[in-house]
Amino acid sequence: MSWARLLKRVFGIDLEHCPQCGGELKIIAAIEEPAVIVRLLTHLGLPARAPPRSPARPLDLFQAA
């Protein structure tokens, strides 16, 4: 099974069809090198780092059930 189909199956991301016209898409490359990804995101004006995680919410054991 291709990774595009796995992404669709697990996360509901359809990389096989265009979201605008519904036409078939063909994947021509996968960028995996972190330095290249950072350069591309920075060039596009997008954040190159994930946002910080929020602290866990307190769990009251008596209200969980």
How far apart are the C-alpha atoms of 54 and 62, rounded to whole Å? 23
Asked if 37 contacts 46 with a C-beta cutoff of 8 angstroms, the reply is no
Q: Is the pLDDT of residue 65 over 60?
A: no
Alpha helices for the chain (secondary structure H): 3-11, 34-43
Q: Is the pLDDT of residue 6 over 90?
A: no
pTM, whole model, 2 decimals? 0.53
The whole-number pLDDT of residue 62 equals 72
Of 2, 41, 40, nearest to 15 by C-alpha is 2
pLDDT digits (tens, 9 = 90+) for 27-44: 888 899 999 999 999 999
In the chain, what percentage of residues exceed pLDDT 70? 95
24 three-state secondary structure: strand
